[in-house]
Amino acid sequence: PLRQLVEANVTQEVIEALARESLRGRTLLIATTDLDSRRTVFWNLTLMAEVRTAGTLDLVRRILVASAAIPGELPPAMIDVAVDGKRYQEMHVDGGTTTQVFLLPRDVLLSDLAFRSRTIYVIRNARLHIPPREVPRSAVAIAGAAIASLIHTQGIGNLYQIAARAERDSSALRIAFIPDSFVLEGHDDFDRNYMNELFLQGYKMGRDGFPWMTAPP
């Protein structure tokens, strides 16, 4: 169903629109995780659209599916690659498996960008403070809580990495996240009522003027 949803919405017209934005100097990066090499892969969708080939549309769709493929909940996306004349298939899943939020690949320096002043905006679709909750005494529940804790702390660490990079490159930093006042809990990752309420919360925060944080907590 996810693949069908992506195919219905990501059309050749979308590729053409991405190409136009690339020519304007804008960049859309999508991160996936290559499980075979256990590393983050950054895909420059705007550049791919600009220098498009016959297989660009299909590859962009696969990347978008992979970027949402939560391991254990959704199947991975298999992407064909060629190395030294040999063909392989890489297994790609949600980029959050290796990094929760990113700015740019490590080899790209903000100081190399042609802007006198830079402001980095990070919108973190998560809470920074997790309220305590009793974990059921079962192996599955304990493992799930441990993984959730790992993901949460990894996301906080990513924010500190971006903050350190902003300070190094003399850039201003603005961070937004789900506030503590939003107390609704979802039954699972795709609870429609929870997602709708969270979207409305974000809309109100943007409309009313959100007090951006200038550094991680």
Quick: pLDDT tens for 112-157. 666 667 888 999 888 888 888 899 999 988 988 888 888 888 889 9
Q: In the chain, where does DSSP find H-type helix?
A: 2-9, 12-23, 45-50, 56-67, 139-168, 192-208
- Give me the percent of the chain exceeding a pLDDT of 90: 53
Q: Give the DSSP H or E segment for 93.
A: strand 86-94
| Inter-helix orientation angle 12-23/56-67, to 10° | 90
- Top pLDDT among 166 and 63 is at 63
pTM (2 d.p.): 0.77
Burial class (CB in 10 A: 0-12, 13-18, 19+), 77: buried
Buried b (16+ CB within 10 A) or exposed e, 166-205: beeeebebbbbbbeeebeeeeeeeeeeebeeebeeebeeb
Are residues 68 and 74 in contact, defined by beta-carbon separation less than 8 angstroms?
A: yes
Q: What is the mean pLDDT of residues 94-105?
A: 85
Query: Please, what is the average pLDDT of the chain?
Result: 89
**Cα 173 off chain centre by:** 18
Q: What is the mean pLDDT of residues 171-192?
A: 86
Q: d(Cα 133, Cα 141) in Å, to the nearest integer?
A: 12
Cβ atoms 166, 172 nearer than 8 A: yes
**CA–CA separation, 49 and 108 (whole Å):** 20
pLDDT at 111: 67
* pLDDT tens, position by position, 13-24: 999 999 999 999
| pLDDT tens digits for range 201-212 | 999 999 998 889
pLDDT cut 70: percent of the chain above it: 96
Strand 119-127 relative to strand 172-178: parallel, antiparallel, unpaired? parallel
- Measured CA to CA, the distance from residue 78 to residue 45 in angstroms comes to 18
State the Cα–Cα distance between residues 22 and 8, nearest whole angstrom. 23
